[in-house]
């Protein structure tokens, strides 16, 4: 059985997304926030060898994994000990891309395409962006990091192209909500121009991407008034020419991306 296993490197975060529960409390898990120790990471990875399940390893949950002081070292070690996928079958990285420099981009592209990495192991990076303009980014994300994030993601795409690599695919995410729905079209147009210029096949989608290609996707906001949120999401993606789900049971059709 395939299971997502969240080995959270940290529950700290460097932004304050208004739709994220991490931003609403001082203790994300009922305890002071912290960073995972190196020995804990090594021990937990080693323990995966004893599991019969197909492990999909996620180094995140409520926190931003890339702000761990040893993030690059942790990830590189994980792939070094995972030959023939003996510990985990897939590696799934979600990031806000605030701390995502050139060296980190090159490392992740190299790991995803290394001869010792199965092509199905490190398929995508989920970039949580959620806005197009600076003011809307600040409103939704709680900080003014729009230019930095767009620069980092665009550089990652350029580096991947320069390295002649297909993976990891870029999943460019936009959680539809009242404060950003008006920018969905501009968001898609921006990333479409860049991906088209690079000659990358990509898919626009109303929820979790399921194809092995880059994607610009629009998720509904999970909130107390889910019916209203789903209506806003449906109208927004319909305006982009996408066909939203007719029933809530059809949502998260590729939830394995998480």
Q: Which of 107, 51, 54, 117 shows the shortest CA–CA distance to 82?
A: 117
pLDDT, one tens digit per residue, over 136-167 is 999 999 999 999 999 999 999 999 999 999 99
Distance between CA atoms of residues 218 and 185, nearest Å: 11
Distance CA 94, CA 127 (A): 6
**Mean pLDDT throughout 58-68?**
95
Task: Tell me the DSSP string of 157-205.
Answer: HHHHHHTT---SEEEEEEEE-TTTGGGHHHHHHHHHHHHHHTT--EEEE
Q: Please give the angle made by the CA atoms of 127, 132 and 136, to the nearest 5 degrees.
A: 105
- pLDDT per position as a tens digit, 160-219: 999 999 999 999 999 999 999 999 999 999 999 999 999 999 999 998 898 799 999 999
Is the pLDDT higher at 247 or at 127?
127
Q: Residue 254's pLDDT is what?
A: 43
Tell me, what's the pLDDT at 121? 96
CA distance 20 to 14: 12
Structure confidence at residue 251 as a pLDDT band (50, 70, 90): low
Q: Indicate whether 253 pLDDT > 50.
A: no
Reduced to 3 states (helix: H, G, I; strand: E, B; else coil), residue 33 is coil
The number of beta carbons lying within 10 Å of the beta carbon of residue 104 is: 19
| Structural domains of the chain, ranges and CATH numbers in brackets | 2-257 (3.20.20.70)
User: Encoding tokens for residue 223?
Assistant: 């909130």
Residue 250: which pLDDT band, with cuts at 50, 70 and 90?
low
């Amino acid at each position: 059985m395939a299971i997502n296993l969240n080995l959270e490197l940290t529950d700290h975060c460097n932004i304050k997304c208004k739709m994220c529960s991490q931003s609403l409390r001082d203790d994300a898990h009922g305890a002071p926030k912290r960073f995972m120790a190196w020995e804990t990471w090594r021990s937990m990875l080693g323990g995966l060898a004893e599991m019969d399940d197909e492990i999909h390893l996620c180094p995140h949950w409520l926190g931003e994994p890339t702000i761990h002081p040893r993030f690059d070292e942790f990830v590189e070690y994980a792939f070094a000990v995972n030959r023939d996928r003996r510990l985990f079958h897939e590696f799934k990285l979600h990031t806000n891309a605030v701390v995502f420099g050139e060296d980190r981009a090159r490392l992740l592209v190299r790991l995803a395409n290394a001869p010792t990495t199965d092509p199905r192991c490190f398929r995508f990076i989920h970039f949580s962006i959620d806005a197009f303009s600076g003011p809307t980014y600040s409103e939704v994300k709680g900080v003014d990091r729009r230019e930095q994030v767009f620069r980092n993601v665009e550089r990652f795409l350029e580096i991947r192209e320069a390295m002649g690599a297909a993976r990891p695919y870029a999943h460019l995410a936009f959680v539809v909500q009242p404060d950003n729905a008006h920018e969905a079209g501009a968001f898609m147009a921006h990333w479409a121009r860049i991906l088209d210029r690079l000659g990358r096949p990509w898919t626009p989608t109303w929820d979790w991407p399921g194809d092995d290609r880059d994607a610009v996707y629009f998720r509904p906001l999970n909130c107390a008034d889910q019916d209203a949120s789903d209506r806003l999401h449906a109208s927004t993606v319909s305006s982009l020419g996408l066909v939203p789900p007719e029933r809530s049971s059809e949502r998260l059709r590729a939830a394995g991306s998480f």
